[in-house]
Amino acid sequence: MKNIPTLIVVAILITSVLITESCTTDDPTTDSPIIVTEDTPVTDYDGNTYKTVKIGDQIWMAENLRSKHYSDGTSINYINYNNDTTNVYIYGRLYTQSAAIRGTSGSNTNPSNIQGVAPEGWHIPSKAEWNQLIDYLGGINVAGGSMKESGTIHWVSPNTGTNESLFTALPAGLYNFDNTFVWRGNHCVFATSTTQIAVMLQNSVSKVVVGSSHPLDGVSVRCVKD
């Protein structure tokens, strides 16, 4: 299986056992409306400013992290897709899990309490926190649609995204641990603070995969407010 990222085996159909690792709701209720409001922007150590959005009881970054330094000024071992800085402002940078959680042992608590690459007052979301977001947006079968940016400016067609949540997930692709880059335009993969777990969205479906990832894969980061 050389040159095939850990998540790629099921990415095309999103039907693998990876989904079984998710604790999210498969049958969403329709009684509770989704309440989303834009929140105060946050600025990282490097001076990058990010839009934020309150989704239910959580406040998330609405853009992928672009930081090159931790909040104390220490350099981060980041990756640019295709080693090209051209689209960093749009798609952000990619980080291994170790870099994202700054070498800690990981956490699946809610909140995770792991700052990692996040700015002051923010942290890396755990699997449990991602599941809270997914559940609030209707469960694994539909949440991806409301999380993804709509249209085909960045996502390839067909794109099921509606961006109802204002989360604005973009198809930043993945750095595979064998030094290849894949999926720009049709997938995004987000880091969690939970050991070797990532969250993945695909252009053509609204399902969310919460499953295993290789610790040396480079993925996007979204932070949650403390």
Q: What is the DSSP string of 186-223?
A: TEEEEE-SSTTEEEEEETT----EEEE--TT-BBB---
Q: 7 versus 139: which is more confidently predicted? A: 139
Is pLDDT at 187 greater than 90 in this prediction? yes
User: Residue 7: its pLDDT value, please?
Assistant: 52
Average pLDDT, the chain: 90
| Upper half-sphere CA count for residue 148 (Cβ side, 13 Å) | 34
CA distance 183 to 32: 34
Write the pLDDT tens digit of every residue in 45-95: 999 999 999 999 999 999 999 999 999 999 999 999 999 999 999 999 999
State the Cα angle at 130 between 150 and 212, rounded to 5°: 100
User: Residue 28: its pLDDT value, please?
Assistant: 47
User: Residue 203: its pLDDT value, please?
Assistant: 98
Domain residue spans of the chain: 27-225
